[in-house]
Amino acid sequence: MNTPTNVFEHIISLSKRRGFIFQSSEIYGGLAATYDYGPLGVELKRNVMNRWWNAMVRQHDNIEGIDAAILMHATVWKASGHVDAFNDPLIDDRASKRRYRADQLIENHMAKLEKDGKTEHLAEVNTRFVAALNAETDEAVCKGLYDIIMEEKIKAPDSGAFDWTEVRQFNLMFSTYSGPVADADAKIYLRPETAQGIFVNFHNVRETARQQIPFGIAQIGKAFRNEIVARQFIFRMREFEQMEMQYFLKPGAQLEAYEEWRAKRLQWHLDNGIREEKLRWHVHEKLAHYADAAVDIQYEFPFGWSEVEGIHSRTDYDLRRHQEFSGKNMHYSDTQSGEKYLPYVVETSTGLDRNVLMLLCEAYRSEKLENGETRDVLKFHPRIAPITVAVLPLVKKDGMPETAHSIEAELRDFFNVFYDEKGAIGRRYRRMDEVGTPYCLTIDGQTLEDGTVTIRDRDTMQQDRIHRHHVLNYLKNKIQQWKSTTN
Ligand code: ATP
């Protein structure tokens, strides 16, 4: 039976088997929560990245891109609040010696209450949970979470024991030293988010790109978090990539921009082929103290609804803090009205790897065919698929490979093309289904006579026979009209 856990395991094993994603340092037993992208994974990831860059930077005159360094001045992270407050509340199971995030234990407990229809009890726990998270001091947060775990008698998921330590805060930043001397002054951090590289470059970008408010700065890059509960494959990694955009605006204009960006970002996921019913909003009940609105876009992964993107209205918190810590004026001067103010910020922040995982989960189907066989297929949107078209000569003789190569060369300027002449055609189709190639173009005996080829559609498995000169337009049309099917 295809249970969600089962499906997720299939996706993980297919990812490895077909060269999408490998465990990092595998021959040494692997490094936890870090992964490498293989030949197909890197194509998939780049397609996602390019679509984001195109949608955000190239489609907007008032959004500029940057590529800031991973290493930044240590004070950046004091100003941003990460040194003091980028913590997770942790609790240890004494029986198994495993460590958990206290807030996640409670969230999972609440999900169970919801599933069991215990709505009244759920509401009560939720009120206590929100109050605990909003407590003034770290100690009070830890105590509040600990009390809920005790009162609700939440057991350790792995050992089933109820033998917990206290809850305490743990900072998620990786630190290292810059230069030859490993002393406190040389201590720096691997950035835990890309956003700060944008804030510190606010004036540089505004001046050099001659932008006026409202305008945005976008960036794709690596971020590092020493995540404690790092499971679920590439959902939660210690080294991952973010795609973030900070939109600077006049105070008072933030909520309109926030709504606008919510709509645009949801549409982007739909345009990548994610079905609408698999996405939902999760409005934050606990706002960071500087935020005035925040929402997540969640996707229904096989392991449950989880965040893929956050859209946050962050007020002037970041620029104000950098002004305070750097002593530099971060104000904006409106040349027309003469007004001076610290801009407000609405940000959109999504994880590239998490998008890749969502697309893999969304695309994966195990289908029973009419002949009784099952086929594993990845139904990627053709614009996302690592290979767009496979060119397959039916047999490796009679001039078919030569004709196939000439068609392949014509298509390479437009698509990622894969050429394969080995093995039975049925097996070659199956392999292409499994890696999500939407179109297979076959050159057969008839091609040599009248110049026609067959194009097989991955989703319907139907074949059309068309003249080779029409292939390019045929594929462009098909890609434009592609729609995700629910089966
Ligand atoms: P979570 O609650 O899942 O830890 P977060 O709220 O801390 O996420 P943000 O700081 O808002 O996440 O980061 C923005 C985006 O970056 C997230 O929506 C997610 O897609 C991605 N992201 C965050 N942490 C990780 C991680 N450890 N591995 C992969 N992607 C991540």
Longest dimension (CA), the chain: 80
Over range 66-72, report the average pLDDT.
Answer: 98
CA of 203 to the centre of ligand 1 (A): 27
**Residue whose CA is closest, atom 25 of ligand 1?**
236
Q: What is the mean pLDDT of residues 292-316?
A: 96
Mean pLDDT score of the chain: 94
Determine which residue's CA is closest to atom 2 belonging to ligand 1.
307
What are 28's two structure tokens? 């040494």
> Is the CB of 309 within 6 Å of ligand 1?
yes
**Nearest CA, atom 31, ligand 1:** 351
Give φ, ψ of 164 to 5 degrees.
Answer: -95, 150
Q: What is the pLDDT of residues 176-195, one digit of tens each?
A: 999 988 888 889 999 999 99
Q: Is the CB of 93 under 6 A from ligand 1?
A: no
Q: Which residue has the tokens 């960071």?
A: 288
Question: pLDDT-derived band of residue 231, with 50, 70 and 90 as boundaries?
Answer: confident
Ligand 1 pocket, 82 CB below 6 A?
A: no
Burial class (CB in 10 A: 0-12, 13-18, 19+), 230: middle
Do 217 and 201 form a contact (C-beta atoms < 8 A)? Answer: yes
Average pLDDT of the residues in 349-374: 95
Q: Under 8 Å CB-to-CB from 133, ≥6 apart: which residues? A: 103, 141, 144, 145, 286
375 to each of 40, 366, 370, 429, 441, how far by Cα in Å?
Answer: 19, 6, 11, 10, 19
Which strands sit side by side in the sheet containing 99-101, from one edge to the other?
99-101, 87-93, 164-171
What pLDDT is recorded for position 133? 86
User: Is the CB of 101 within 6 Å of ligand 1?
Assistant: no
pLDDT of residue 486: 54
Check pLDDT > 80 for residue 5. Answer: no
Name the closest-CA residue to atom 1, ligand 1: 307
User: In percent, how much of the chain has pLDDT > 70?
Assistant: 99
* Ligand 1 geometric centre to CA of 349 (Å): 8
Residue nearest to atom 21 of ligand 1 (CA): 351
Judge if the beta carbon of residue 348 lies within 6 A of ligand 1. no
- How buried is 348 (Cβ within 10 angstroms: 0-12 exposed, 13-18 middle, 19+ buried)? buried
pLDDT band for 398, please (50, 70, 90 cuts).
Answer: confident
pLDDT at position 257 over 90? yes
pLDDT tens per residue, range 99-123: 899 999 999 999 999 999 999 999 9
Residue 40, number of CB atoms within 10 A of its CB? 21
Which residue has the least CA distance to atom 15 on ligand 1?
350
Q: What is the pLDDT of residue 184?
A: 80
Which residues face 453 on adjacent strands?
A: 466
Q: How far is the CA of 3 from the centre of ligand 1 (A)?
A: 26
Question: Which pLDDT value is given to residue 1?
Answer: 57
DSSP H or E stretch at residue 465: strand 463-467
Rounded Cα–Cα distance for residues 62 and 348 (Å): 15
* 103 neighbors 133 (Cβ within 8 angstroms): yes
Is the peptide bond between 192 and the residue preceding it cis, with omega within 30 degrees of 0? no
Measured CA to CA, the distance from residue 15 to residue 11 in angstroms comes to 6
Which candidate, 386, 391, 406, places its Cα nearest to that of 441?
391
Query: At a CB cut-off of 8 Å and minimum separation 6, what does 430 contact?
Result: 375
Cβ within 8 Å of residue 216, ≥6 positions away:
56, 60, 62, 63, 64, 245, 246, 247, 248
Q: Does position 291 have pLDDT exceeding 70, yes or no?
A: yes
Residue with the smallest CA separation from ligand 1 atom 11 is 310
Residues in the chain: 487
> Does the beta carbon of 349 sit less than 6 angstroms from any atom of ligand 1?
yes
DSSP 156-181: PTTT----EEEEEEEE---EEE-SS-
Check whether 230 has a pLDDT greater than 80: no
**What stretches of 223-287 show up as alpha helix (H) in DSSP?**
254-271
Mean pLDDT over 306-316 rounds to 97
Is the distance from the beta carbon of residue 307 to the nearest atom of ligand 1 less than 6 Å? yes
Overall average pLDDT of the 369-374 stretch: 88
- pLDDT (mean) for 482-486: 74
Q: Give the whole-angstrom CA distance, residue 145 versus residue 100.
A: 12
Structure tokens at 249: 């605006």
Cα-based angle 321, 327, 328 (whole degrees, multiple of 5): 90
Q: Compute the distance between CA of residue 197 and CA of residue 195 in angstroms, rounded to an integer.
A: 5
Q: Which of 82, 226, 349 to mutate to test the pocket of ligand 1 (most atoms within 8 A of CB)?
A: 349
Question: Would you state the pLDDT for residue 214?
Answer: 96
**Ligand 1 pocket, residue 269 CB under 6 Å:** no
Cβ of 219 less than 6 Å from ligand 1: no
What is the Å distance from ligand 1's center to 67 Cα? 19
Q: pLDDT class for 2, splitting at 50, 70, 90?
A: low
